[in-house]
Structure 1
């Protein structure tokens, strides 16, 4: 029904009842406050479809000028599948979008939100409802201060060997330092701290979790471990995040996840040396 005039359909029906009684268009328009074009528009529709034609039609457009050809949807899914087979790289909607732009595969690339909707419809990933975040203080730091975050991730190789990858990330510039080892010991953690300080510069604050490699706790009570002593010697103030809350070190945790999913899981490594030899792919990417 016409939202502007609730009597619209009643006017239409009244007009055609008058037509049935032999009234002329001129006589009908003297009784109904409508135009001549309105009357003959509905007369034409009435002649074609009868009384049901006088009801209001859906106002939703039957054609979308922005609808994409199904071939574009298939192309997006093929690009996503190819990215998933790549040795290194992301596979999300943004990665697909930039691949379409870079390779000029379509004249006008669909938006990231459109690509995401197509990938979700194809079952490529499932959306997750984010949990409500609890308050966690994060005071802003002056620009001249260097704040970094450090964490490690481990993966097994064929035959049972294990590779540990330490990452330190500049939380402002996102510059990354990476070292690898076959064990997660205090000595390895200290070596990584020295290497990352050389590559990124001495941090004013270094955020770490409560892993024993960093804290040195568990062997002797009330004694600073070697990693803590080395950091203090270098003038670095350590910031330990809350226990069992790795998300508080979210930036470097995401780097660990990227290394695992976009690098390690996409290749076959025969040894730790092989991982170290190919690690440049991840660092350059």
Structure 2
């Protein structure tokens, strides 16, 4: 059966994603390399919507976009801007509207540039007020994230409940965002234990995204532990694999804005959009959303000029070989006892806490109050524990460093891989 032009374009993008050479793709489809380059540019700029033939009609002609499409775009935008609480992170721009239209079954689905024009003409393109960081003040020591693997943020969503055939089904959602590369990894499990978190990291997040230089989290007990007892199984796993762990200030979720944004996006566009009576069904729907996010949604932080693509999935594929990965043959089973409990060793590495000193210049970390001096009052500082040296190095806002003894009370082993690239 002959392939129509639209199918030929889609097939071309699939072949490129599979790693086929452009000359080979063009030859097999009976088209020129110029033709392939044209549609590749459109695909990288607008996703599958960019593969449609663009109208040659004047853009301001009243029939360029059907009135029903305009109404659907504006209605979707209005729904998104009415979100409250943490749902405000989900966004209301062109790509958010496009996903709303996709789920609503609107056809033909307008390109993002068309959506942007509709919103602009209706005066609905004003940016939302920036989300204020709780207890803002002073310079916040945010880590740099220039590309994939520099910084990952993880978080838990839950408990949430599904309406199963036998009654409510309780679950937790585990999410990770690669801040520099835009990649994501999701999983849903029955509990939020450290063992479940470790399982998620090994089989999902770090298996797909690679190991990060810095892994940033909030202060969830399953990961951060209790004051004075920071060596949870989750933290031990990160150190064992050469990953630096970093905790944001307590009560300031906005410092993990990328993962908070994704949490809200996932709940709005997956959990509340679909009826999923089981975790298996939810995993299928979530997987569909994840593929869309990685391969069809142009990421606002990625550009063709800097990254060569606007799609996190394509960027991850290109740079995958340069990223550190879980060592071959690694398994959590090696560290389980007869009852199945995890007992990971403590490895050499670094754990950092970003905290704000009180009005007297004291910093609360690891169940201790570290005196930094009056000059540090109400300023952010980064306290970094070295399990190799057994000390806490507190990096002050003014550039100084104060050292405090923090001897380890157990044997410290070598990590399975060195941190860094």
TM class by shorter chain equals 0.5 to 0.7
Q: Which residue of 1 aligns with 2:196?
A: 188
Residues 147, 204 of structure 1: 8 Å contact kept? yes
Q: Which residue of 1 aligns with 2:153?
A: 149
**Cα deviation digits, residues 31-79 of structure 1 (max 9, x gap):** xxxxxxxxxxxxxxxxxxxxxxxxxxxxxxxxxxx98859966541234
Residues 177, 184 of structure 2: 8 Å contact kept? yes
Q: Does 1:224 align with 2:231?
A: yes
Q: Which residue of 1 aligns with 2:243?
A: 236
Secondary structure of 1:160's partner?
strand
Q: Which residue of 1 aligns with 2:274?
A: 267
* TM-score normalised per structure 1: 0.60
* TM-score normalised per structure 2: 0.42
1:1-285, aligned counterparts within 5 Å? 75-81=69-75, 92-95=92-95, 96=97, 103=108, 112=116, 115=119, 118=122, 128-130=128-130, 134=136, 135-140=139-144, 146-154=150-158, 155-158=160-163, 159-195=167-203, 196-217=205-226, 221-222=228-229, 224-285=231-292
**Cα deviation digits, residues 81-114 of structure 1 (max 9, x gap):** 5797xxxxx89451457979x93869xx767265
- Between Structure 1 and Structure 2, which shows a larger proportion of strand residues? 2
Residues 216, 226 of structure 1: 8 Å contact kept? no
Distance of aligned partners of 1:264 and 1:242 in 2 relative to their CA distance in 1, 3 Å threshold: same
Distance of aligned partners of 1:283 and 1:143 in 2 relative to their CA distance in 1, 3 Å threshold: closer
Secondary structure of 2:156's partner?
strand
- Between Structure 1 and Structure 2, which shows a larger proportion of helix residues? 1
Which ranges of structure 2 fall in alignment gaps of 5 or more residues? 1-58, 80-89, 293-421
Secondary structure of 2:154's partner?
strand
Q: Superposition RMSD on alpha carbons, in Å?
A: 3.8
Number of residue pairs matched by the alignment: 207
Residues 80, 91 of structure 1: 8 Å contact kept? no
